[in-house]
Amino acid sequence: MKLHILGICGTFMGGLAALARELGDQVEGSDENVYPPMSEQLAALGIGLQSGYRAEYLRGDLDQVLVGNATSRGNPAVEAMLNRRLRYVSGPQWLSERVLPGRRVLAVAGTHGKTTTTSLLAYLLDANGQQPGFLVGGVPENFAVSARLGSGPAFVVEADEYDTAFFDKRSKFVHYRPEVAILNNLEFDHADIFDNVAAIQKQFHHLVRTVPGNGRLIVNGEDAHLREVLAMGCWTPVERFAICADSGPLAEIEWQARLLAADGSRFELIRRGQSLGALTWSLCGRHNVMNALAAIAAAEVLGVSASDCARVLGGFQSAKRRMECIGEHHGVTVYDDFAHHPTAIATTLAGLRARVGVGRILVALEPRSHSMRLGVHAALLAPALAAADHVVFLKRPELVWDTAPVIAGLSGRGESAASVDALLQRLHALAGTGDSVVFMSNGGFENAPRRFFND
């Protein structure tokens, strides 16, 4: 088939492009937001990429158009597609029809940690000989591609609660019909499509309804919102995961960890109250230990024992742009992180603080997600940045809310910059030997992390 993918540089749609190419389809696409790592992956795969959305890109010999959820009515390519009566389908539906039939599907859902947990689960299965297929909303360092078909029965998919397409307002994850679903956490986000937490919980319960009775739900045992989701009705065996309480393992939690290092780089794995030994790996932060528990629990459903997971865990490398260390620049360590929510910002910085101790942490923050741009999380940002020694906000003209109250809440530790050039200039003036500089954005950030590193 000859496919054109609208929004091909999105991490999800770019992964579909890789899968379609592997299936033997002719693949091309268009997008108006082109930045690494997906642009680099598409170039490496030899997939044609056209800039912008123009009607003439949709040539008459196309068999099908795959529509990303970043496109909507009024988009020139969408209007041309509809007017010409071209065959079109959403990305999640295409995946469910072309790739997932006959596979043992493992879906990773949650407000935070989906990409890391999906990458880790795929790695654990692969390192133990299962050759899984996967689709990750990022590029896992262990695989160097965001998606592959795999030769084994398992397929691991990052399962997003965001809506499917302009013509299908269901959450993406209802298309996947998983045998195993990880519910990592649930908070309010995506304020452009959800009115409140209850609306998101309803979508998560739709996912719960699709998991068969002989499947498995792997659920964050610390999350009250997820407990409420399960209380709406559950027909599948549930295993929960959590960090040990100070008093010891919790009897009602099947999978637990006891932190043996403050930064989470070493922890004891406990199942049903029995210690399975100490694990050491390169990631840091309590949140990543939780991600590891979820992935290990899910891998066991497919026959990979916890001890086999523990044996290979040290070889895991996280996905690009998930606290990705760009390198050291004149004694300054530079990180690129895909931050989109105050909780993710807080947990990431807490993990880094535990690792660097008294070393200074400087943060460059671009409020770019829909919720961030709307100011929904503004009141939570200053507390989320508590572990930072200094913060420079990118205050673009189109940002509708005032950053001044957030900066004031940082008590002299915050400022704003009107452009990326100004932000980089300020960071260069602030940073010194031994500091860590963390760039946080769920967009391209005009390649700021690498520009800082290369200047």
Whether residue 111 sits in one domain with residue 87: no
Where residue 117 sits, what CATH number does that domain have?
Answer: 3.40.1190.10
| 3-state secondary structure string across the chain | CEEEEECCCCHHHHHHHHHHHHCCCEEEEEECCCCCCHHHHHHHHCCEEEECCCHHHCCCCCCEEEECCCCCCCCHHHHHHHHCCCCEEEHHHHHHHHCCCCCEEEEEECCCCHHHHHHHHHHHHHHCCCCCEEECCCCECCCCCCEECCCCCEEEEECCCCEEECCEEEEHHHHCCCCEEEECCCCCCCCCCCCCHHHHHHHHHHHHHHCCCCCEEEEECCCHHHHHHHHCCCCCCEEEEEECECCECCCCCCEEEEECCCCCCEEEEEECCEEEEEEECCCCCHHHHHHHHHHHHHHHHCCCCHHHHHHHHHHCCCECCCCEEEEEECCEEEEEECCCCHHHHHHHHHHHHHHHCCCCEEEEECCCCHHHHHCCCHHHHHHHCCCCCEEEEECCCCCCCCCHHHHHHCCCCEEEECCHHHHHHHHHHHCCCCCEEEEECCCCHHHHHHHHHHC
- Residue where one domain finishes, among candidates 47, 63, 91: 91
Are 184 and 333 in a shared domain? Answer: no
* Interval 14-24 mean pLDDT: 96
Q: Which of 315, 343, 370 is the last residue of a domain?
A: 315
Q: Are 172 and 308 in the same domain?
A: yes
CATH classification of the domain holding 23: 3.40.50.720
Residue 61 and residue 138 in one domain: no
CATH code at position 420? 3.90.190.20
Average pLDDT, stretch 324-351? Answer: 84
The confidence score (pLDDT) of residue 370 equals 63
Residue 271 has pLDDT above 60, yes or no: yes
**Residue-level pLDDT at 376:** 62
Mean pLDDT of the chain: 90
pLDDT digits (tens, 9 = 90+) for 189-201: 766 778 899 999 9
Of these ranges, 76-90, 324-338, 376-390, the one predicted with the greatest mean pLDDT is 76-90
Q: Judge if 309 and 383 occupy the same domain.
A: no
Residues 154 and 285 in one domain: yes
Domain count, the chain: 3
**Looking at residue 248, what is its pLDDT?**
67
Task: Over range 67-81, report the average pLDDT.
Answer: 95
- Domain with 57, as residue range(s), is 2-91
Question: What pLDDT shows up at residue 377?
Answer: 65
Residue 240 predicted with pLDDT over 90: yes
The answer on 288 and 376 residing in a single domain is no
Q: Summarize pLDDT for 192-237 with one digit per residue, the tens.
A: 778 899 999 999 999 999 999 999 999 999 999 999 999 999 999 9
Among the candidates 288, 315, 342, a domain finishes at: 315
Does one domain contain both 73 and 186? no
Query: Does residue 145 share a domain with residue 209?
Result: yes
Q: Once rounded to an integer, what is the mean pLDDT over residues 54-77?
A: 94
Q: How does residue 31 score in pLDDT terms, banded at 50, 70 and 90? A: very high
